Amino acid sequence: MARKSILVVDDEKSQREILEVILSGEGYDVTTASSGEAAMKFVADRHFDLVLTDLKMPGMSGLDLLKNLTDFDKSIIVLLLTAHGTVDSAVDALRLGAFDYLQKPYDRDKLLDTISRALKKLSTLDAEIISDSPEMDRVKKLILKVAKSNSTVLIRGESGTGKELIARSIHKNSLRTDQVFQAVNCAAINENLLESELFGHEKGSFTGAVGEKKGLFEVADDGTLFLDEIGELDISLQAKILRALQEKQIRRVGGTRELNVDVRVVAATNRDLLKMSQDGRFREDLYYRLNVLSIEIPPLRERRSDIPILIDYFLKKHTRDTKRDIKLSSEARRLLEDYSYPGNVRQLESAIERATLLCENDTITIDDFPPEMQSVQTPANAADALFKLPPNGVNFEDVERSLIMQAMDRTDNNITKSAKLLGLTFRTLQYRLEKFGFKKESDGTEDEE
């Protein structure tokens, strides 16, 4: 897991050095700044989880720094160090959003305990985005960066990766956190009804419109509107979404009045919107309006270090309200950790929820998982089933050559397809073919990876 980052701000060099030694020794990633102005330059270049600042400094005071930090990045936690006689100012700082203050000379243990308590505030992200992978750490940091803006955000990712979770985290860490968050799945509502859902309608504007109705753009005014599966929008609705983003105005179905709305839109898709726009299936101007800031969520198979902690999290979640102490058999855990998850995190949670309901004797076995998971051998099991080491051993190069030749025969000597069958890159297989003196006609794919 990425180390928590702390920025220490003090005009006294000796104080900066002491704090750096103490905090680095506790495993924190520490940066020091000699002034509030220098601190703001650091903050502009990278995200810090916590800023520990002296209150009284020449130039920009700690109180001024707190105000600037709050305006710049609401997610940063600020702790103040105060000398005798400045406690009243520190109390003022608490009213402005500082987490706490410590008086100099501070007690080392109390300092570390206060920092530990302060960093628990970051649970807004860490308690929801269950992850221990560098891939998702990058996503978390990107969330904190884009959250402070009011610009639109486009979240890309396969189905089941948790795009709405990312959207909610953006909202919770934004300046609109105290306002409403509204979500709509554009693929789940009939296009005729979707226009009314988004923009509202006037009484009598269509059959069944017995009264006026506010749309989600109105309901989410001053807040955040999450448009999931936006690639499924009808082209005519795309034009109205574009106008709402550009002009900050909407018109209800059957209405004549222009209504002003201030909504931050976060959209999500599992489709290639750029290609769709090039094919004429998605408005190019809307694509660029949505894609001001973008976040790509990697599929679960590309961040396999997250799987074990997600397994434990979902197992705890779905047994929390029961009196059963349900555990996973070693075979069941092995299957879960090795599976490829085409349905991503959603599929993993569904499998565990099902298994907790079906298992007997409080132990989940492979038989408790969906049939499509049971029928797929894990890589480890497949290797055990196919390859048994003979008592007298083997010539490994003969085995390697045999497998490569089988793959090449099966693919009509296509290196690219053979590499995929063997789990190798194009260049690695090409090198091994050359090592074994294999000659073939070019299949036109020599530059592929």
Distance CA 54, CA 93 (A): 12
pLDDT score at 417 = 82
pLDDT score at 447 = 40
Q: What is the CA radius of gyration of the chain?
A: 28
pLDDT score at 208 = 78
Distance CA 67, CA 61 (A): 10
pLDDT score at 446 = 43
Going from the C-alpha of 1 to that of each of 28, 95, 259, the distances in angstroms are 12, 33, 46
Strands 77-82 and 100-103: parallel
The 8-class DSSP code of residue 107 comes to: P
CB 295 within 8 A of CB 129: no
pLDDT score at 445 = 45
Distance CA 346, CA 183 (A): 18
Q: What are phi and psi of 367, to 5 degrees?
A: -65, -15
Q: Which domains does the chain have, with CATH numbers?
A: 5-122 (3.40.50.2300), 134-296 (3.40.50.300), 301-383 (1.10.8.60), 392-449 (1.10.10.60)
3-state secondary structure 400-449: HHHHHHHHHHHCCCCHHHHHHHHCCCHHHHHHHHHHCCCCCCCCCCCCCC
CB 250 within 8 A of CB 244: yes
Tell me which amino acid residue 205 is.
S
Structure tokens at 51: 């800023």
> Model pTM greater than 0.75?
no
Distance CA 44, CA 109 (A): 31
CB 286 within 8 A of CB 242: yes
Chain segment 145-197, per-residue pLDDT in tens: 899 889 999 999 999 999 999 999 999 889 898 888 999 999 988 887 899 99
- For the chain, residues with pLDDT lower than 50 are 1, 123-124, 126, 378-382, 385, 441-449
CA 73, 76, 81, 87 dihedral sign is positive
